[in-house]
C-alpha cells in the first residue's frame, strides 16, 4: 500500500517535469522555464486562465495530452487521499484498542457528558488509568484527538463493558443521561464484576435506593456533588467514608488525603506509627486506618502498629505525598 502511494507521488512529479519540458521545447525562444512550468500548472489544474503565450498546434496537442494524463493522475491521487485518511483513522483506533486491551486495575467512566469530562480530567491529574465508554461519535473523535482512551459503544451492552476490560477494573462510575440507563448498566456491571467499586449517578433522589439495590456502592446526585468530588469518591472510596476536608476560606492550601494499602509499603510492616517517621521525613500524617474487615480507626495513637492487611489514610501536601509515593510505593 505504501509503495502504491509513493508511485502516485512520483507520477505527479514526473508529469510536472515532463509537461514543463514539453512546453519549453515546443515554445522555442519565446518560452522560459518559468513560463513553461506556469503553463503546466494551468493545464493540469484546468482552471482556465489565459495562456502565457499563444499556443501553436503542437502546443495545443501537448496541452490535451497533459490534461488527459493529469486529470487521470489527480483523480487517482484524490481517491487515495481518502484511503490514506481512512487508514490513519483505523490505525489510530487500532492503537487505542491495543492500549485498552492492556489495561488492569483501571477505572471505567460510562458516559462523557459534562460530569464525565470533569471526572476524566480529575483522574488524569491523579495519573490514574481509565477508559471512557461513549456512544456519540463526535465526542469519541474529540477524545481520540486528545489521546484519551475511549470506546465507541453503548455502555448498556455487556460486550462493550467487556471490551473496556470490566473484569480487570477496580472502579466504575456510571454517569449516563437517564436514571433508567444508569440502573440497567449498574446491574450489568455488578453481574460482570461482583467486587468492583461501583458509583452511579441519579437525577432523582427517589431512584437512589433502586441503584443501591442494583449493586451500586455509592449513589450521587449531580446537584449535590460535583464531578471533582465524584472522582475523589471513585479513586478513594475509604476516604470518602471516613474523612472529609472542606476549606473554603483557604483555597490556596493544596492538601491531599490519600489511601494506600500497606501491602504496597513493605518498609512499614509491623512498624509503630511513631517509628515510621512519616511526619519527620515527609511532613505527612496518618489520619486513619482501615482493616481488612472494613473496621476503621480515626486518628490512631502513635504506638499503633501498622499491619500488612491494613489500609492507611494519609494527610499532607500534594508535593510531599507525591514524593512519598515515588520513594516507597511498590506497584
Q: To 10 degrees, what angle do helices 33-45 and 2-27 make?
A: 130
pLDDT tens, 70-80? 766 666 666 66
Residue 147 — left, alpha, or beta (φ > 0 → left; ψ -120 to 50 → alpha)? left
Domains and CATH numbers, the chain: 2-98 (1.10.287.70), 103-235 (3.40.50.720), 255-328 (3.30.70.1450)
For residues 1-40, b (16+ Cβ closer than 10 Å) or e, as one string? eeeeeeebeeeeeebbeebbebbbebbeeebeeebbbbbb
DSSP single-letter state for residue 203: S
The reported pLDDT for the residue numbered 293 is 82
What dihedral do alpha carbons 176, 178, 180, 183 form, nearest 10°? 30
Extract the residue ranges of the chain whose pLDDT is less than 50. Answer: 1-3, 240-253
The reported pLDDT for the residue numbered 236 is 62
What dihedral do alpha carbons 209, 211, 212, 215 form, nearest 10°? 160
Spatial neighbors of 26 by CB under 8 A, at least 6 apart, are 56, 58, 59, 62
The cell for 11 is 507520477
pLDDT tens, 98-141? 899 999 999 999 999 888 898 898 888 888 999 999 999 999 98
The reported pLDDT for the residue numbered 285 is 87
Which backbone phi and psi does 86 adopt, to 5 degrees? -65, -45
The reported pLDDT for the residue numbered 331 is 55
CA 105 to chain centre: 16
The reported pLDDT for the residue numbered 243 is 42
pLDDT tens, 11-41? 778 888 888 888 888 877 778 888 878 787 7
Cα–Cα distance for residue pair 98/151, rounded to 1 Å:
12
For residues 185-202, b (16+ Cβ closer than 10 Å) or e, as one string? bbebbbeebeebbbbbbb
Amino acid at each position: 500500500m505504501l509503495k502504491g502511494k509513493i508511485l502516485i507521488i512520483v507520477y505527479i512529479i514526473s508529469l510536472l517535469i515532463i509537461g514543463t519540458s514539453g512546453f519549453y521545447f515546443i515554445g522555442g525562444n519565446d518560452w522560459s522555464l518559468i513560463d513553461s512550468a506556469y503553463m503546466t500548472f494551468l493545464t493540469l489544474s484546468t482552471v482556465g486562465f489565459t495562456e502565457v503565450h499563444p499556443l501553436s498546434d503542437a502546443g495545443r496537442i501537448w496541452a490535451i495530452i497533459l490534461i488527459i494524463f493529469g486529470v487521470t493522475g489527480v483523480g487517482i491521487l484524490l481517491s487515495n487521499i481518502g484511503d490514506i485518511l481512512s487508514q490513519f483513522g483505523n490505525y489510530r483506533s487500532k492503537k487505542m484498542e491495543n492500549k485498552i486491551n492492556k489495561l488492569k486495575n483501571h477505572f471505567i467512566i460510562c458516559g462523557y457528558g459534562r460530569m464525565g469530562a470533569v471526572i476524566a480530567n480529575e483522574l488524569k491529574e491523579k495519573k490514574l488509568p481509565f477508559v471512557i465508554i461513549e456512544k456519540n461519535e463526535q465526542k469519541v473523535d474529540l477524545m481520540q484527538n486528545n489521546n484519551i482512551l475511549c470506546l465507541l459503544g453503548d455502555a448498556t451492552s455487556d460486550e462493550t463493558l467487556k471490551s473496556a476490560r470490566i473484569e480487570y477494573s477496580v472502579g466504575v462510575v456510571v454517569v449516563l443521561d437517564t436514571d433508567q440507563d444508569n440502573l440497567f448498566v449498574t446491574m450489568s456491571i455488578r453481574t460482570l464484576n461482583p467486587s468492583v467499586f461501583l458509583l452511579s449517578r441519579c437525577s432523582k433522589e427517589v431512584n437512589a435506593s433502586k441503584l443501591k439495590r442494583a449493586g451500586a456502592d455509592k449513589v450521587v446526585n449531580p446537584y449535590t456533588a460535583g464531578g471533582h468530588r465524584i472522582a475523589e469518591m471513585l479513586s478513594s472510596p475509604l476516604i470518602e467514608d471516613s474523612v472529609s476536608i472542606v476549606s473554603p476560606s483557604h483555597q490556596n492550601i493544596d492538601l491531599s488525603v490519600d489511601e494506600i494499602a500497606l501491602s504496597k509499603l513493605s518498609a512499614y510492616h509491623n512498624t509503630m506509627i511513631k517509628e515510621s517517621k512519616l511526619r519527620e521525613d515527609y511532613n505527612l500524617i496518618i489520619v486513619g486506618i482501615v482493616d481488612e474487615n472494613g473496621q476503621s480507626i480515626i486518628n490512631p495513637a502513635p504506638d499503633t502498629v501498622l499491619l500488612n492487611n491494613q489500609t492507611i489514610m494519609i494527610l499532607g501536601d500534594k508535593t510531599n505525598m507525591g514524593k512519598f509515593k515515588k520513594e516507597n510505593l511498590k506497584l
